[in-house]
């Protein structure tokens, strides 16, 4: 039996977004647990679909003695503040110092954290951990599919395991793989040789979805086949990267591990070649707000199921504030009767709706406060339903998540329904609608502030899924952005 320290620190940073992640955003619960530390960690994450949950289960099965450190996350946004990073990193180091002798460490990280003072938050955290525990102690790490993997991360972790699905329905499985890699080293296997390759193009957020090619084929066929080709390849991961971070090492990458350097290099070369060959396929149709509403209305006339619109550029899961009003304006102006927009993040209006009560009609200034150039949508609303924002996720990605979204309200204005929430969270689970008494299957059109994760729970209910681009900071086309730190030679749009 070995003594294994476990912990996690999660943030996906959109350096083009307007709102930063301060310490309080890591402390509070939202869609994921609040900051949990020490003896509170294991019960705090129990039953929640997270990498660390899968990692802990795998390590427990092996009979190891677990030493819980700290786990926390904040909804994607602009930079993590220096204060937040330094306080949380200090907690990690304090807990490691107090842990006593260890045989290994498993960490649940994201891989795309940028702070006010660091381009590579996770790499710096690992550097500090290595400074404390030394180079020999085995450390394995699980990362998000949108990790911007850096050379420092590859150097300091013995193995990185990365999600293989987007929507991320394999978080627990990925944590378990990272834990199994640690088990292998503890059982006497030599630390594997490593190979790291970076693509020369950015993959837009919408088109790394593994429900469609080319990502589907790369993850479901190419990657497993390369792992099967030889037993000398002990690990292989492909990260689509997070294109909305202006850092040197943004973008897609491949990490391979092998019993020999030759095996690791061969697997990495083959995988990156397959990714590069698919470059032109990472794209698809995106409609402006007025166009997508008009198209959705036309489709809904003959549909038996809802037409779903992704309000992709205000996705809180990609750094959007969740309060932009472009899609709501388009739905009302386009007379999309019976349509629903979920979720507009507006704690002020949600509080006013609660004060007025169900059945009340009142004038509200909805959203429009966070994204430059946007403005509140002033309208008369009827309060149809109210909720406290406390409920459990039921879908493939957020199943078991204990949501705490603050005051929620279902409003109607101009024939369009709007769900308000008080904490930033993308609309990715049907429980968010049912919490307010709305059955998704009964709606003609559902507009969701999400890019891809909603597909796990909503796509099976949908007649069609359309991607709409109202103004917001989760830019569907990275070529619209001005990059200053990205390494030279990286193409901002696939195939261009």
Per-residue pLDDT of 117-130, as tens digits, reads 999 999 999 999 99
Residues 73-101 have pLDDT tens digits of 999 999 999 999 999 999 999 999 999 99
What's the pLDDT at 495?
62
Distance of CA 194 to the CA centre of its chain: 26
What's the pLDDT at 246?
98
Are the CB atoms for 490 and 464 separated by under 8 Å? no
Using CA atoms, how far residue 424 sits from 112, 168, 343, 421, 450, in Å, is 19, 19, 9, 7, 12
Using CA atoms, how far residue 434 sits from 47, 197, 388, 423, 452, in Å, is 21, 44, 13, 17, 20
Contacts 24+ apart (CB under 8 A), 47-50: 47/400, 48/400, 48/401, 48/402, 49/171, 49/172, 49/393, 49/397, 49/398, 49/399, 49/400, 49/401, 50/8, 50/108, 50/171, 50/172, 50/175
- Parallel/antiparallel/unpaired status of strands 233-239 and 253-258: antiparallel
Rounded Cα distance between 434 and 425, Å, is: 16
Residues linked to residue 6 through DSSP beta bridges, in sequence order? 68, 106
Look up tokens 């088990």; give the residue: 183
Rounded Cα distance between 405 and 302, Å, is: 35
The CA dihedral of 463, 433, 12, 492, to the nearest 10 degrees, is: 30
Rounded Cα distance between 211 and 459, Å, is: 10
Residues 5-49 have pLDDT tens digits of 999 999 999 999 999 999 999 999 888 899 999 999 999 999 999
- Parallel/antiparallel/unpaired status of strands 104-109 and 464-469: unpaired
Residues 315-333 have pLDDT tens digits of 999 999 999 999 999 999 9
Confidence of residue 106 (pLDDT cuts 50, 70, 90): very high
Residues 156-186 have pLDDT tens digits of 999 999 999 999 999 999 999 999 999 999 9
Residues 343-377 have pLDDT tens digits of 999 999 999 999 999 999 999 999 999 999 999 99
Average pLDDT over the chain, rounded to an integer? 97
Confidence of residue 287 (pLDDT cuts 50, 70, 90): very high
Residue 436 reports pLDDT greater than 80: yes
Please, which residues have CB within 8 angstroms of residue 73's CB and are 6 or more apart in sequence? 8, 9, 10, 11, 26, 32, 33
Rounded Cα distance between 468 and 85, Å, is: 34
Are the CB atoms for 251 and 243 separated by under 8 Å? yes
Confidence of residue 230 (pLDDT cuts 50, 70, 90): confident
Dihedral sign from CA coordinates of 34, 409, 452, 330 = negative
Report which DSSP code applies to 392: E
Residues linked to residue 236 through DSSP beta bridges, in sequence order? 256
Please, which residues have CB within 8 angstroms of residue 200's CB and are 6 or more apart in sequence? 251, 276, 489, 490, 491
Task: Provide, rounded to the nearest whole percent, the portion of the chain with pLDDT above 70.
Answer: 100
What's the pLDDT at 494?
80
Q: What is the mean pLDDT of residues 251-269?
A: 98
What's the pLDDT at 8?
98
Residue 496 reports pLDDT greater than 80: no
Rounded Cα distance between 205 and 194, Å, is: 27
pTM of the model: 0.95
Alpha helical stretches, state H, 77-197: 82-98, 121-133, 151-156, 171-186
């Amino acid at each position: 039996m070995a003594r294994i320290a476990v912990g996690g620190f999660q943030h996906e940073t959109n350096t083009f977004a307007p709102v930063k992640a301060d310490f309080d955003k890591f402390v509070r619960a939202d869609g994921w647990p609040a900051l949990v530390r020490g003896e509170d960690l294991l019960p705090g994450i129990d039953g929640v679909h997270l990498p660390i949950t899968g990692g802990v289960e795998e390590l427990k099965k092996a009979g190891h003695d677990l030493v819980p450190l700290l786990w926390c996350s904040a909804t994607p946004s602009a930079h993590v503040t220096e204060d937040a990073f330094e306080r949380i990193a200090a907690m990690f180091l304090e807990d490691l110092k107090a842990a006593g002798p260890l045989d290994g460490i498993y960490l649940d990280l994201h891989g795309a954290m940028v702070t006010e003072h660091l381009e590579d938050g996770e790499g710096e955290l690992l550097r500090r951990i290595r400074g404390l525990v030394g180079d020999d102690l085995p450390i394995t790490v699980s990362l998000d599919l949108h990790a911007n993997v850096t050379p420092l991360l590859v150097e300091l972790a013995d193995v990185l395991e990365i999600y293989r699905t987007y929507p991320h329905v394999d978080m627990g499985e990925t944590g378990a793989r990272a834990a199994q890699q640690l088990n292998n080293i503890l059982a006497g296997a030599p630390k594997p040789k490593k190979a790291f390759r970076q693509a020369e193009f950015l993959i837009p957020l919408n088109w790394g979805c593994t429900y469609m090619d080319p990502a589907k084929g790369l993850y479901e066929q190419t990657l497993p086949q390369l792992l099967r080709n030889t037993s000398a390849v002990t690990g292989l991961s492909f990260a689509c990267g997070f294109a909305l971070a202006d850092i040197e090492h943004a973008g897609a990458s491949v990490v391979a591990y092998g019993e020999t350097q030759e095996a690791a290099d061969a697997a990495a070369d083959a995988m990156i070649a397959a990714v590069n060959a698919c470059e032109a396929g990472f794209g698809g149709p995106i409609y402006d707000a007025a166009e997508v509403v008009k198209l959705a209305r036309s489709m809904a006339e003959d549909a038996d199921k809802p037409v779903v619109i992704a309000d992709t550029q205000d996705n809180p899961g990609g750094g959007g504030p969740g309060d932009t009003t472009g899609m709501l304006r388009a739905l009302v102006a386009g007379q999309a009767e019976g349509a629903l927009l979920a979720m507009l993040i507006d704690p002020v209006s949600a509080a006013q709706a609660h004060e007025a009560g169900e059945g009340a009609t009142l004038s509200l200034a909805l959203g429009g406060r966070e994204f430059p150039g946007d403005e509140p949508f002033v309208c008369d609303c009827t309060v149809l339903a109210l909720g406290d924002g406390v409920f459990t996720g039921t879908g493939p990605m957020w199943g078991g998540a204990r949501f705490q979204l603050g005051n929620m309200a279902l409003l109607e204005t101009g024939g369009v329904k709007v769900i308000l929430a008080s904490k930033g969270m993308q609309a990715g689970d049907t429980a968010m609608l049912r919490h307010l008494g709305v059955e998704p299957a009964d709606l003609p059109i559902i507009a969701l502030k999400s890019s891809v994760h909603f597909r796990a729970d909503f796509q099976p209910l949908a007649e069609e899924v359309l991607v709409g681009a109202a103004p917001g900071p989760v830019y569907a086309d990275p070529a619209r952005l001005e990059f200053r730190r990205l390494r030279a030679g990286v193409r901002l749009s696939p195939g261009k």
